[in-house]
Amino acid sequence: MEKSRVEISVRNQSYTIISSEPPENVIALSNELNEKLNAIMNGTGVSLTQGLILAALDFADEAKKSTALAEKYKNEIADYLEDAEKAMTQRDKYKRELDKLKAKNNK
Predicted confidence (pLDDT) at residue 43 exceeds the cutoff of 90: no
pTM check: above 0.75: no
Most confident range, picked from 1-5, 40-44, 45-49, 62-66 = 62-66
Q: Residue 104: is its pLDDT beyond 80?
A: yes
CA-wise closest residue to 34 among 18, 21, 15: 15
Residues in the chain: 107
CA 89 to chain centre: 33
Whole-number pLDDT of residue 105: 87
- The yes-or-no verdict on residue 27 having pLDDT over 80 is yes
Say if residue 77's pLDDT is above 90.
Answer: yes
Structural Rg of the chain based on CA atoms: 28
- Whether the predicted pLDDT of 91 surpasses 90: yes
What is the rounded distance in angstroms from the CA atom of residue 106 to the CA atom of residue 44?
Answer: 86
